[in-house]
A and B are shown apart, each in its own frame.
Chain A
Amino acid sequence: MSDSFNLEIVNPEKLFLSLDNVSEVVVPAFEGDMGILKDHISIISFLKPGIVKVFTGNEVKELYIEDGIIEFSENSLSILTSKIIDIKEIKKDDLSSMINEANEALKDENLDDQKRFIANQKIDVLNRLN
């Protein structure tokens, strides 16, 4: 019996990634990283900025994700996100402009705690990638 399940990552423009032989996915859920294996209980959660790791066989794919919702049911995992980039494809310039953007957002005084947390998290992750 194989230990793989389906993964679909969609962004508003298109189906970003669709795999049917994923053995494990680690997502940056809002309350902490979450690893998902086959036969996980059905779950809905949302994500904070971070790295999604997709394990297929011996390969690991790493994707930077800015936000998203995940739904896992009957061994198929859907990730809905408005912004996702393969780490290998991120350029240095984009990184720094994204960090600047997040820093700008932090300057807003009226930011609520959750938004502030997300912006900080974003800077953290981006700095680590840089």
Chain B
Amino acid sequence: MASLDDLKKRITSVKSTQKITKAMKMVAAAKLRKAQESAEKGRPYSDKMHNIILNLSKNINDKENAPKLLAGSGKDNVHLCVVMTSDRGLCGGFNSNITKKAKSYFKKILDSGKEIKIVTVGSKGFDQLKRAYKEHIIENISFKESKNVNYFDADKVGKMIIEKFEKGEFDVCTIFFNKFKNVITQIPQEQQIIPLKSEKSDDKNDVMNYEFEPEEDEILNNLLPKNISTQIFKAMLENSASEQGSRMSAMDNATRNAGEMVEKLTIEYNRSRQAAITKELIEIISGAESL
């Protein structure tokens, strides 16, 4: 059995860990509120953008000459995967959930004999993927310096993706991120952004007849690159809300576990203290009796 001193030390150490996790939980909760707010505020933009593109693509008659970002390059040999994770750890299964999802997708693509290229956003994803997929990773972007998610960063990623697409470096682009459902649940998502997957076109509301100025194609050419950045921005916002949510519940669990551990250790400490006292008493009594 551990000595009294050792037990005492362990109790203090667990207690100070508990303090840290508790503080982290509090910080995450505060940040979560902010992240959630900005995720909600960002929604109108991406929704409207989506609507306009939907309307535009329905109005395009000449599918053959549709912009490549919409129709794809006609092949699907090389897949670009953008894996979006956080830059910090200690957030439960947040990062592993995304990489798990991404890895199963990689396997599917590789098994069918196609090629993958990986871009990681956020250093944690890079750390987790570099062991198994090092040769596929072509870029690793991290926004450690920027305090909040901003559109400027998303735009940089978007522009880089489009540049690579125009050079013909890949045919299909998919992004991986965590969708924020609530504090406890975050759902890892894969979303194809190039070519744009048009949702089922049997929408109930009829296609509006719009006037276009300039022509549809020109607007689409202008709009589609922006849409890529917008989708990435949306994913980043969802991700940051998910990260904080995930960290909050992970730290909550850690705090609770530390509490349980302190309780157990305290009982053990008290028992062994009592045992020592009893032992001493027995020694005194039996010593007195022998006289």
Most B CB atoms within 10 A — which of A30, A31, A34, A44?
A: A44
With the chains together, A43 CA to B56 CA distance in Å? 11
B276 at the interface (CB under 8 A from A): no
With the chains together, A15 CA to B235 CA distance in Å? 18
From A13, A29, A69, A71, give the contact of B41 (CB < 8 A).
A13
A-contact 0/1 string along B35-70, CB 8 Å cutoff: 000100110111011011001100000000000000
State how many angstroms separate the Cβ of B194 from the closest Cβ of chain A.
Answer: 19
From A10, A29, A41, give the contact of B44 (CB < 8 A).
A10
B-contact 0/1 string along A40-69, CB 8 Å cutoff: 011111100000000000000000000001
B155 at the interface (CB under 8 A from A): yes
B275 at the interface (CB under 8 A from A): no
State how many angstroms separate the Cβ of B206 from the closest Cβ of chain A.
Answer: 12
State how many angstroms separate the Cβ of A72 from the closest Cβ of chain B.
Answer: 9
Given contacts A44-B219, A46-B223, contact A11 B45 (CB under 8 A): yes
State how many angstroms separate the Cβ of B208 from the closest Cβ of chain A.
Answer: 6
Looking at B209-217, B241-249, B279-287, the stretch in contact with chain A turns out to be B209-217
Question: Which residues in B have their C-beta under 8 angstroms from that of A78?
Answer: 48
B222 at the interface (CB under 8 A from A): yes
B151 at the interface (CB under 8 A from A): yes
Residue of A with least CB distance to B40:
A14
B31 at the interface (CB under 8 A from A): no
Given contacts A10-B45, A10-B48, A14-B41, contact A46 B222 (CB under 8 A): yes
Q: Is the CB of B44 within 8 A of A44?
A: no
With the chains together, A12 CA to B158 CA distance in Å? 14
Q: Is the CB of B210 within 8 A of A73?
A: yes
Q: Is the CB of B151 within 8 A of A82?
A: yes
- Number of chain A interface residues as a range: 20 to 34
Question: Which residues in A have their C-beta under 8 angstroms from that of B85?
Answer: none
With the chains together, A73 CA to B213 CA distance in Å? 14
Q: Is the CB of A44 within 8 A of B49?
A: no
From A11, A13, A15, A45, give the contact of B212 (CB < 8 A).
A45
Given contacts A69-B219, A82-B151, contact A43 B210 (CB under 8 A): yes
A80 at the interface (CB under 8 A from B): yes
Given contacts A44-B55, A44-B56, contact A13 B219 (CB under 8 A): no
Residue of B with least CB distance to A42:
B210
Q: Is the CB of A13 within 8 A of B210?
A: no
Query: Which residues in window 181-231 of B have CB below 8 A to A?
Result: 208-214, 219, 222-223, 226, 230
B233 at the interface (CB under 8 A from A): yes
Q: Is the CB of A46 within 8 A of B219?
A: yes
Q: Is the CB of B230 within 8 A of A43?
A: no
Question: Which residues in B have their C-beta under 8 angstroms from that of A15?
Answer: 41, 44
Q: Is the CB of A31 within 8 A of B213?
A: yes
Question: Which residues in B have their C-beta under 8 angstroms from that of A13?
Answer: 38, 41-42, 150-151
With the chains together, A44 CA to B223 CA distance in Å? 11
Question: Which residues in B have their C-beta under 8 angstroms from that of A45?
Answer: 212-214, 219
With the chains together, A11 CA to B48 CA distance in Å? 11
B contact residues vs A (CB 8 Å cutoff)? 38, 41-42, 44-46, 48-49, 51-52, 55-56, 150-151, 154-155, 208-214, 219, 222-223, 226, 230, 233
* Given A43-B211, A43-B212, A82-B155, 13 extra CB contacts under 8 A: A10-B44, A10-B48, A11-B45, A12-B42, A12-B151, A13-B42, A13-B150, A14-B38, A29-B213, A43-B213, A44-B210, A69-B223, A80-B52
Closest 10 CB pairs of A and B: A14-B41, A12-B151, A43-B211, A45-B213, A10-B45, A42-B210, A10-B44, A12-B45, A44-B210, A46-B222
20 A-B pairs with CB atoms under 8 Å apart are A10-B44, A10-B45, A11-B45, A12-B45, A12-B154, A13-B38, A13-B41, A13-B150, A14-B42, A15-B44, A42-B208, A44-B56, A44-B212, A45-B219, A69-B49, A69-B223, A69-B226, A71-B51, A80-B45, A80-B48
